[in-house]
Structure 1
Amino acid sequence: MSSNIVVTTWSLEQTSAADLLPAAAPDGDAVRIVRSEVPSPEFSRFLYASVGGDIRWTDRLGWSHARWREHLERPGVETWVAYEHGTPAGYVELEAQDDGVVEILYFGLIPAFRGRRIGGHLLSYGAARAWDLAERWEGRPPTKRVWVHTCSLDGEHAMANYQRRGFTLFDTEVEEEPDVPAPGPWPGAQLDTPR
């Protein structure tokens, strides 16, 4: 018999580019943020599983290659990847919606890169790209609103990071969900443990 857990979901928004309060970039030039311009289901699934594996991101794990490709090829969907010394550290996925709205669909860091001052910078950069998204997509209206949701299963600093970047709360929902174990970055495989 499966059990349920209570999950709180918070939705936050910015209604002007002036709402964005950028975080300082990490010192030096070790961290770069680059748009993944060629839709790659393999790479996007790697990012999704690697960032969300320990915090119960499971919605997309069953997606087929074709479904990933269809999603990534939609006009107005962008993936921005943070690299530290050439290694993927985390990502932001944006989706243009109707009437000048852009949602930050996914944002996060691979566990090994958390706590290294990359998250605030990556979120700042991703939100700025949400605000100027129409400049890269012909026919898209200028962005009027950027929104995101986070939940009580996400990283412990997620909500505070959004608020420090100038996002304000506009909705809270509390629901019971099945208590699904976190699959880890390699669903179905055990993580190596130090000896």
Structure 2
Amino acid sequence: MSLPDGFTDIPPGKIAAIATILERCEPPTARTFTSDGRPGWRFERTENPDLDWYTRLLRRVGTNHLWYQRLILGPEAIAAKIAAPATVIHALLVDGEAEGIAELDLSEPGAAELVYFGVTPDLAGQGAAHFMMERLIASAFAHPIKRLWLHTNTIDHPRAMAFYRRAGFTPVRQMLELADDPRLTGLFPRDAAPQVPLFPRPEEL
């Protein structure tokens, strides 16, 4: 699909974002991490994650960025995905409680997709994302991969793009992302992601 130059109307009931694909093809060279985090922080792989635990954490981290793609699948499909051998889920534990998520998909030979990465709002700006990312990159490249990639979009945290670039990721592609607004389908509260205007259809008013 090609779009003409200029402005394009977005239909009511939809959200639109510009998604950017970023990749990192170099494994980490440092043998130690630059961030020790804070007392009580641990970055650990979660084996056999519980469905309720997973969806609750995904919502706590992603509601204000409208992380809808996984949640619209429904419980059975989500459970199958997180139980798949190619799915690797790490959590940031703060005094034993999960406050961040990093999910890898290793289904593509030679590559890993960082599907979800983020921390709960209370940890934003405290260095938790840097603490997680160093350990996530090392963990990802411990697998036989040559490429670690992710996508971020304009609904994500405003510092996300700069953060990923500092972590060694390079933008390689952009796409227009269009979807039903998950606040209007009932997936998220209507007051979620206040930075994104809500444009309901007449029947959704």
| Same structural fold, with TM-score higher than 0.5 when normalized by the shorter chain | yes
Q: Structure 2 vs 1, CA of residues 189 and 88 (structure 1 numbering), >3 Å: closer, same or farther?
A: farther
Of 153, 156, 164 in structure 2, the residue corresponding to residue 154 of structure 1 is 156
Residues of 1 paired with 2:61 and 2:53: CA distance? 12
Of 123, 131, 138 in structure 1, the residue corresponding to residue 133 of structure 2 is 123
TM-score, with structure 1 as normaliser: 0.80
Q: Structure 2 vs 1, CA of residues 156 and 188 (structure 1 numbering), >3 Å: closer, same or farther?
A: closer
Aligned counterparts, 1:102-141, within 5 A: 102-132=112-142, 134=143
Q: Structure 2 vs 1, CA of residues 153 and 60 (structure 1 numbering), >3 Å: closer, same or farther?
A: same
Residues of 1 paired with 2:16 and 2:79: CA distance? 33
Maintained 8 Å contact 2:28/2:137: no
Amino acid at match of 1:56: L
Maintained 8 Å contact 2:19/2:154: yes
Aligned counterparts, 1:18-57, within 5 A: 18=28, 24-57=34-67
Amino acid at match of 1:105: V
Aligned residue for 1:58? 68
TM-score, with structure 2 as normaliser: 0.77
Instruction: State how many pairs are aligned.
Output: 181
RMSD: 2.8
How far did residue 164 of structure 1 move?
0.6
Partner of 2:91: helix, strand, or coil?
strand
Aligned residue for 2:3? none
Maintained 8 Å contact 1:25/1:118: no
Of 79, 82, 86 in structure 2, the residue corresponding to residue 72 of structure 1 is 82
Unaligned 5+ runs, structure 1: 135-141
Partner of 1:98: helix, strand, or coil?
coil
Unaligned 5+ runs, structure 2: 1-10, 193-205
How far did residue 19 of structure 1 move?
7.5
Aligned residue for 2:4? none
Amino acid at match of 2:151: H
Structure number with larger C-alpha Rg: 2
After superposition, what is the alpha-carbon deviation per residue over 1:28-54, rounded to whole angstroms, capped at 9, x for unaligned?
A: 432111111123211111111111111
Of 164, 172, 175 in structure 2, the residue corresponding to residue 173 of structure 1 is 175
Q: Structure 2 vs 1, CA of residues 4 and 98 (structure 1 numbering), >3 Å: closer, same or farther?
A: closer
Partner of 1:121: helix, strand, or coil?
helix
Maintained 8 Å contact 2:183/2:190: no
